[in-house]
Amino acid sequence: MASIWHRILSIHQNLVEDGDKRTDPWLLVYSPVPVLIIFLLYLGVVWAGPRLMKHREPVDLKPVLIVYNFAMVGLSAYMFHEFLVTSWLSNYSFLCQPVDYSTRPLPMRMANACWWFFFSKVIELSDTLFFIMRKKNNQLSFLHVYHHGTMIFNWWAGVKYLAGGQSFFIGVVNTFVHIIMYSYYGLAALGPHMQKYLWWKRYLTSLQLVQFVLFLLHTGYNLFAECDFPDSMNLFVFCYCVTLIILFSNFYYQSYVSRKKQK
């Protein structure tokens, strides 16, 4: 048992020492332990929440949801602006962009945008809590929990080791999609009278699928191109996007194609 514990400590030490020294002092970045604790708490809420709410009335969160969703629109717009403008000013390449680990203003600005993107994934775990409190348990799908739970680890690693470079492409595209997505949720939270204006939900799911295909193509290209960006990260993102494309495609089919056939 002692040897296993020492092995764990050794792995942890290697993880924290090999990171980007610029981002190490930032909140939740230095060690994976706080993110692991958040993840375990998240799984605990997913498991216990519906059980605790089983014999309770749904909580009316309308004011909270309106503020939360439009605040997320604002945060997503800020991150989109930072990724886009900083990459433009830095003359980033969409095909191959190594990480600049210097402390010059533009690389630090990009690293800061990556941190905000990571932290936004922590904030987005609230989506699950709101589903539970409103007793929307049908929305606690494997896709939802898998996507939210894994993104905090993915982007912890991004900020810890690769805060910049080709990571910006995921940030630009995903924040753009989230501006639209949280706008939809914010409008839906205003009340049933908004439903007639929300006919475009199906196209939102399509947009989410398109972004994963773009990530797949982007990382797939870089797996075979000469570029000073870790192939291990490109391979991980490629495989991760494959899982998301499969899960989102199944969601799209079940929600729109299969349901239409049944009607």
Active site residues: 147
CA distance 205 to 203: 5
The beta-carbon contacts of 122-127 under 8 Å, at least 24 apart in sequence, are 122/28, 122/38, 122/152, 123/72, 123/75, 124/72, 124/148, 124/151, 125/38, 125/42, 125/152, 126/68
Q: How far from chain centre, in Å, is Cα 184?
A: 17
Phi, psi of 119 (to 5 degrees): -65, -30
DSSP state of 229: S
